[in-house]
Amino acid sequence: MFNFIKKITASKSETPQQQAVRDSAVDKVLLDYNVGNVSISQMVTGLDRDGDQLTLELRLPQDCDPEMIQQELGNLLHPHGIKAIHMNVRLPAPAKGEAKTLPKQMPKTTDAMGNNSKATSKPSPNAEPPITKAAPTQASLSPHPHIRHIIVVASGKGGVGKSTTTVNIALALQKLGNRVGVLDADIYGPSMPTMLGVANIKPELENEQFIPINAHGMAMLSIGSLLDDDNTPVAWRGPKATGALMQLYNQTNWPQLDYLVIDMPPGTGDIQLTLAQRIPVTGAVIVTTPQHIALLDAQKGIEMFNKTNIPVLGVVENMALHTCSNCGHTEAIFGVGGGDRIAEQYQVPLLGRLPLAVGIRAQVDKGVPSVLADDEFAPYYISIAKNIEANIDKFAKPVDDKRIF
Ligand SMILES: Nc1ncnc2c1ncn2[C@@H]1O[C@H](COP(=O)(O)OP(=O)(O)OP(=O)(O)O)[C@@H](O)[C@H]1O
């Protein structure tokens, strides 16, 4: 399990085994408890357990009863040794004219059986007023003091070659003379360590900060480096994943970088949205294949970035054409011109187009991506990196060198 990122402080009497058992019991209760038809785990934006005290940050739907939820969770968690639940709740802002019906009384701390109790009252470490705080916007985020540009590489759909593209773009930006870092945030299939040939190296901790791994001169950190073999993607839903990823971003001693390239998890769900709202991103690159379905998903990705005010730097069309290595015949296996269409529809540049080529796959499998191998495909990625560089400064955020971690 993912113990060293999760905010868990074991009580003095709690052995590591008891801690693990209690953590997974809490996870299971949250996964199984529904508000309406949706698991409450999808609504948790922060989770902090300190021994038998559980603090939850929740974004709840408007028509729910937070006190009842707190009471029911208390009943369910009490048998697992949780004695008090502290809830910080955000509700959506009321629509015009509805102000009188909101807020419902917000729950205070209760003991785990639902009794309000002063004795157990404890503010969350991230305490905020318990209601209606708007989600952060890009404009309100402080730039990172060491990082000039943060680029997220996203795809609406899994398996389109997002990670392969990310690693090669990062290496291409480095080849163009930039200081580059890579953050592998793909909780569903973290592949950067393998693609960069550093799968066996674990990052070190110094003064509670991660030290990125040196991967061919790039500063690399992956959620994959922090998982034990028994971890499964299911354990990474919602709050845990975003909490862990934010910690990787914030509690890492990133060196001075011109670019931090983030390999996002595929899709446009809560995790992606939260990251897009909390990390000060210069721009997004969308990877798609020419297939219709991948394109539809790419559109969702673009719309998500538009909503969160993250500029879309452009689209990369991956696996565009295939040249048969035996007969030399070239075929558009996944269709033609999808990248162009989406770029046109959303008025974003088509940054480049990659062929479907055994060589591209073989190189990342070996841990020596095309750009590093300087093979026949490297120029495609260099050209994409040049296209990114050509436009990035107009989206740049000021560097905040006063920020202190
Ligand atoms: N242009 C390409 N030509 C041939 N194979 C490719 C190409 N791009 C990616 N691949 C291969 O396709 C597979 C999926 O690629 P990759 O892991 O980069 O996709 P992804 O979108 O990041 O996937 P996931 O959603 O699982 O994270 C890998 O085996 C990779 O080597």
Reported ipTM: 0.97
Ligand 1 mutation target, pool 164, 317, 353, most atoms within 8 A of CB: 164
Q: Judge residue 98's burial from the number of C-beta atoms within 10 Å of its C-beta, 0-12 exposed, 13-18 middle, 19 or more buried.
A: exposed
Q: For ligand 1, say whether the CB of 164 is within 6 Å of any of its atoms.
A: yes
359 is in an annotated binding site: no
How many angstroms is it from 164 CA to the middle of ligand 1?
A: 6
**CA-based R_g, the chain, Å:** 23
Q: For ligand 1, say whether the CB of 158 is within 6 Å of any of its atoms.
A: yes
Q: For ligand 1, say whether the CB of 157 is within 6 Å of any of its atoms.
A: no
Q: Is the pLDDT of residue 195 over 90?
A: yes
Q: For ligand 1, say whether the CB of 286 is within 6 Å of any of its atoms.
A: no
Q: Is the pLDDT of residue 312 over 80?
A: yes
Q: Is the pLDDT of residue 128 over 80?
A: no
pLDDT at 284: 93
Which span out of 60-64, 195-199, 277-281 was modeled with the highest average pLDDT? Answer: 195-199
> From CA 29, how far away is CA 6, in angstroms rounded?
17
176: in domain = yes
pLDDT class of 371 with cuts at 50, 70, 90: very high
Residue 356 alpha carbon, nearest atom of ligand 1: 3
Whole domain around residue 75: which residue ranges? Answer: 7-111
Segment 51-58 mean pLDDT = 82
**199 and 324 share a domain?**
yes
pLDDT at 121: 38
Structure tokens given for 110: 């209760």
Q: For ligand 1, say whether the CB of 361 is within 6 Å of any of its atoms.
A: yes
| CATH for 263 | 3.40.50.300
pLDDT class of 361 with cuts at 50, 70, 90: very high
Q: What is the residue with the minimal CA distance to atom 25 of ligand 1?
A: 158
Spacing of C-alpha 126 from chain mean position: 20
Structure tokens given for 341: 């269409």
pLDDT at 70: 87
**18 and 147 share a domain?**
no
147: nearest Cα among 286, 311, 281: 281
**15 and 154 share a domain?**
no
**213 and 106 share a domain?**
no
**262 and 368 share a domain?**
yes
> Between 268 and 96, whose confidence is greater?
268
Q: How far is CA 94 from CA 61, 66, 74, 90, 101, in A?
A: 11, 16, 28, 12, 8
**What is the pTM (predicted TM-score) of this model?**
0.67
Choice among 63-72, 116-125, 173-182, 283-292 with the minimum mean pLDDT? 116-125
Which residues, in sequence order, are CB contacts of 326 under 8 Å at separation 6+?
none
**303 and 223 share a domain?**
yes
Which span out of 113-117, 179-183, 264-268 was modeled with the highest average pLDDT? Answer: 179-183
- The answer to whether the beta carbons of residues 258 and 240 sit under 8 Å apart is no
pLDDT class of 120 with cuts at 50, 70, 90: very low
160: in domain = yes
Q: For ligand 1, say whether the CB of 319 is within 6 Å of any of its atoms.
A: yes
Identify the domain boundary among 66, 95, 111.
111
Residue 361 alpha carbon, nearest atom of ligand 1: 31
- Number of domains the chain is built from: 2
pLDDT class of 363 with cuts at 50, 70, 90: very high
Preceding amide of 349 cis, omega within 30:
no
Q: Is the pLDDT of residue 224 over 90?
A: no
- The answer to whether the beta carbons of residues 184 and 263 sit under 8 Å apart is yes
Choice among 75-84, 127-136, 191-200, 246-255 with the minimum mean pLDDT? 127-136
| CATH for 78 | 3.30.300
Q: Judge residue 318's burial from the number of C-beta atoms within 10 Å of its C-beta, 0-12 exposed, 13-18 middle, 19 or more buried.
A: buried
How many angstroms is it from 361 CA to the middle of ligand 1?
A: 7
Rounding to the nearest 10 degrees, give the CA dihedral for residues 48, 183, 204, 190.
80
**221 and 336 share a domain?**
yes
